[in-house]
Amino acid sequence: MPSGDYLWRVNDHAKSIRDIRRHSRLDAEAYDEFSKMMTPMCRFVKPMLSMVPPDPTTLNPKDLKQLHFLLQRFRELSSDERYTLVQLMTMSSADFLDQWFETDVLKATMSASGIIGTFLGIRSPGTAYVLLHHYMGEIDGAFRSWGFSRGGTGAISNAIAGAAREAGVEIRTKAPVGKILTKNGRACGVALQSGEELSANVVSSSVDPHLTFEKFLEPSELPADFLEGVRRYKFRGSSGKVNLALDALPNFKSLPGPGAHLRGAISISPSMEYMERAYDDAKYGRYSRRPYIDMVIPSVTDPSVAPPGKHVLSCFVQYAPYKLAEGTWDDQKKLLATTSSTPSPSMHPTSKTSLSAARSSPRSTSSANLASRRAIFSGRAFPRTTLLPSSRRRLGLLPHTHPQPIYVRLCHAPRRRHHGRQRPHRQPGHP
């Protein structure tokens, strides 16, 4: 924080509450209630993510059955839970959190979950749902959990590849696909850019829908309305990754020296205003001059990913729009790497040797790996696109840009809207 303080949340709930209490007694109390409230919200929404959203305007028995299932579950929620659910589906993460907490830095760091991988700001409606979306991540049933894969992220791909090879799969790399071949309206293989053709009964594509349907297939091979749906599929990469090679561990002024804080995620999100201003840059096609950064040092938990005594610092940086208003990422990525390693001397005072080494290291700049056009969610995570059906049934799961209003009639609001306490006095500039 600019004051030299910090806010530390850990996976021990009681410890997190103790640290929040240093900033606000009211927030420590509300944090407990907030965590309890988010669990039923996750339980309600999570099964819906793997469903084809039912069409509320149809009399198709399958859709009606699904609608009944959803309504039944909605009715099982308490009135407080229903009220919160509607808020999560309609509000911005900043507005949603404003109702619960008063500490700016707590709201800022929590609201970051509402924008990760999303081309929206913390004050944009819809981001409260994205916040919930990130709560749904789990490890072994524990919501809101993240982990490192031993050997780095590539170890996961290698494990999948190893299992596939063991099952008899032949994997070919450096063999870009040029076209998907079709016969009688069915995919029957692929043509590589080298000209080689491979036939297959099933073609499964993990590249984005634009490449798959617009580049690999001829427009005449697809129904016109389906193709139109693909063209309107929202796809805006908003974030980037900057990987730094460090000579030594970072040393933070607020928590000097090594410690448990270096084993988790370190978030540079000092205030709500800072977060929204980061988005202001992106709106006009620039990467954030003062970005939101979520950094991890995987070499602390897994020394195998760096040479002995050295470290890697992986920064998730937002915003880094795929389409820049000026210049190209080839000439801007070095600047993004520099910006990300020094957001502000007062709040990111790492050991000078480690970061200067990182900045001058060719590895640090050449590894600034920018999000491609593909967004983290391979599309847009948004209440409407995630949970509502598309306007035309033939488009199936593809989200659309047609503005469908959601009519919500609230008969009554639950009594305990501010957790049984007076709404705390807001800081100037806050709603």
Of 239 and 339, nearer to ligand FAD (C-beta) is 239
Question: Applying CB under 6 A, does 371 fall inside the site for ligand FAD?
Answer: yes
Q: Strand, helix or coil at 172? A: coil
Sign of CA pseudo-dihedral 340, 343, 345, 350:
negative
Extract the tokens encoding 362: 């060719």
Q: E strand or H helix at 48, and its extent?
A: helix 25-49
Distances (CA, A) of 298 to 167, 245, 276: 31, 11, 28
Question: Applying CB under 6 A, does 187 fall inside the site for ligand FAD?
Answer: no
Question: Applying CB under 6 A, does 210 fall inside the site for ligand FAD?
Answer: no
Q: How far is the CB of 253 from ligand FAD (least distance, A)?
A: 27
> Going along 34-185, which residue ranges are E strands?
138-139, 142-143, 177-183
Of 176 and 420, nearer to ligand FAD (C-beta) is 176
Question: Applying CB under 6 A, does 241 fall inside the site for ligand FAD?
Answer: yes
Of 274 and 322, nearer to ligand FAD (C-beta) is 322
**Pick from 334, 331, 335, 337: nearest CA to 317:** 337
Question: Applying CB under 6 A, does 360 fall inside the site for ligand FAD?
Answer: no
**Pairing state between β 186-192 and 138-139:** unpaired
Of 164 and 207, nearer to ligand FAD (C-beta) is 207
Q: How far is the CB of 379 from ligand FAD (least distance, A)?
A: 11
Angstrom distance (rounded) from CA 81 to CA 77: 6
- The total of other beta-carbon atoms located within 10 Å of residue 138's CB is 13
Question: Applying CB under 6 A, does 191 fall inside the site for ligand FAD?
Answer: no
Of 188 and 376, nearer to ligand FAD (C-beta) is 376
Question: Applying CB under 6 A, does 179 fall inside the site for ligand FAD?
Answer: no
Q: How far is the CB of 390 from ligand FAD (least distance, A)?
A: 22
From 50, 72, 204, 206, residue interacting with ligand FAD (rule: CB under 6 A): 206
Question: Applying CB under 6 A, does 239 fall inside the site for ligand FAD?
Answer: yes
N-terminal to C-terminal alpha carbon distance within the chain: 22
Q: How far is the CB of 266 from ligand FAD (least distance, A)?
A: 14
Q: Strand, helix or coil at 229? A: helix
Q: Cβ distance 290 to 318 under 8 Å?
A: no
Q: How far is the CB of 167 from ligand FAD (least distance, A)?
A: 18
Helices (H), 99-237: 104-111, 127-135, 154-166, 209, 224-231
From 376, 392, 401, 419, residue interacting with ligand FAD (rule: CB under 6 A): 376
Extract the tokens encoding 395: 């488009």
How many residues does this entry show for the chain? 431
Question: Applying CB under 6 A, does 115 fall inside the site for ligand FAD?
Answer: no
Q: How far is the CB of 146 from ligand FAD (least distance, A)?
A: 7
Question: Applying CB under 6 A, does 240 fall inside the site for ligand FAD?
Answer: yes
Angstrom distance (rounded) from CA 209 to CA 230: 7
Scanning residues 285 to 324, which ones bind ligand FAD (CB under 6 A)?
Answer: 316
From 374, 391, 401, 424, residue interacting with ligand FAD (rule: CB under 6 A): 374
Interface with ligand FAD: number of residues (CB under 6 A): 11
Angstrom distance (rounded) from CA 211 to CA 178: 10
* Residues in contact with ligand FAD by the rule CB under 6 A: 176-177, 206-207, 239-241, 316, 371, 374, 376
